[in-house]
Amino acid sequence: MKNDIWFLSRRFFTVVFVVFFLSLGSAIAKPEPPPEMQAWLKKAELGAYEPSKENWDEIVKKATEEGEVIVYTSSGRIQKLVKSFGKVYPGIKLTVHDLGSTKSVEKTKREQQAGIYNADVVTTGNSGQVIHEMLNKNLLVNYVPHHFKSRIPREYREPLLIRVNEAVVFFYNMEAFTNGSPVTNIWEFTEPRFKGRVGMKNPMSSGSTFMAVMTLIQHPQEMAAAYKRYKGEEIKLSDGVPDAGYEFWARMLKNDIVIFKSGSKLAAASGKKGQKNPLLAFANMTYIARNDSKGFVNAIVQDLDPVAKLLYPTFTAIARQAPHPNAAKVFTAFVLGSTELNKNSKLSKPYTKGASSDLLLG
């Protein structure tokens, strides 16, 4: 059994490492768009053909004539915008394909390679693939509505618009752990008392989880230092494991970490009320909203050595040769919220109704 577990961990790390470096290896000079894409860019007034000043009323008019915007997304929350988008733009149908981060990338790539241009907007994480395999290969076009440019720092709008910065965190169940977080050091999750008690989404199908895994792997010195603070001694690596970053995940696998296909089910496994032995979850922080919508009792481990939150960007871009480019522009502005939203704005629950909704959605 021990050999089987080690084979699994070695295979897991091999796959993660190969995928990671393949994404880096594709970071080559961006080629010129082919003629058919150039013609589309010119007509859509995107890329090099974007005007110095936008006529937003004209864009909305053209978008209404197009009549639809098709979105590929990694987030189920986009589906919830259909009604509110329709109220603001009754002449534009919002069609959402909730695919997850990896499938959003894969579907877009496969379709475009086959000459199928179905998507208007792609909004997803998975930054390595999105930047190097999509933007840098002319599968996506960066677009920032002009009335938002002065409000968004350059690093959040170039080379690709970041719709939101999100995070992967550890959840614990507040009913089961009434005194607060059961851990203060990340290495505690590898101990026997948490054997089979920690869940995560499959990093081979979840780009955000994959990036979180790789973030810990890329900081072996910090992971080793955290281990020494926890145990009072230097870490001893398993045979064949190069450093403390990989060692952490090797030990997590040996400790029977539970792999989920669904982020929603993972959040429920840690957060549902009335559980005797709920899991702790290595999950997307956005699922904390299920405490309000579904009555979960998840809490975020706030103070965790060496790190509590692993940040990742979620991008929004217009897909190459999108059939409804103006509607794509309108949707992009819509999800960025109102230009009246600022740090002094007061938001109140429920955020999906009333003045708060008007500020959060454009």
pLDDT digits (tens, 9 = 90+) for 212-271: 999 999 999 999 999 999 999 999 999 999 999 999 999 999 999 999 999 999 999 999
Distance between CA 346 and CA 217 in Å, rounded? Answer: 39
pLDDT at 11: 41
- Of 143, 172, 130, 149, nearest in space to 283 by CA: 172
pLDDT digits (tens, 9 = 90+) for 322-338: 999 999 999 999 999 88
Distance between CA 210 and CA 205 in Å, rounded? Answer: 8
> Is residue 248 within 8 Å of 200, Cβ to Cβ?
no
> Is residue 143 within 8 Å of 49, Cβ to Cβ?
no
pLDDT at 223: 98
pLDDT tens string, the chain, 362 residues long: the values are: 344 333 344 444 444 444 444 444 444 568 999 999 999 999 999 999 999 999 999 999 999 999 999 999 988 889 989 999 999 999 999 999 999 888 999 999 999 999 999 999 999 987 778 999 999 999 999 999 999 999 999 999 999 999 988 899 999 999 999 999 999 999 999 999 999 999 999 998 888 899 899 999 999 999 999 999 999 999 999 999 999 999 999 999 999 999 999 999 999 999 999 999 999 999 999 999 999 999 999 999 999 999 999 998 999 999 999 999 999 999 999 999 888 777 787 877 777 677 777 777 65
Residue 347 is encoded by which pair of tokens? 């938001």
Phi, psi at residue 193, to the nearest 5°? -65, -15
Task: Domain ranges for the chain, please list them.
Answer: 2-22+166-312, 25-164+313-360
Q: Name the amino acid, one letter, at 188.
A: E
pLDDT at 135: 96
Residue 289 is encoded by which pair of tokens? 């909203």
Asked if the domains 2-22+166-312 and 25-164+313-360 are classified in one and the same CATH topology, the answer is: yes
Kindly report the length of the chain: 362
> Is residue 135 within 8 Å of 316, Cβ to Cβ?
no
Find tokens 């992967």 and name the residue.
168
Q: What are the C-alpha distances in Å from 82 to residues 87, 248, 266? A: 9, 41, 25
**Domain 2-22+166-312 listed as CATH 1.10.1510.10:** no
> Is residue 335 within 8 Å of 88, Cβ to Cβ?
no
Single pTM value for the model: 0.80
Q: Which CATH class is domain 25-164+313-360?
A: alpha beta
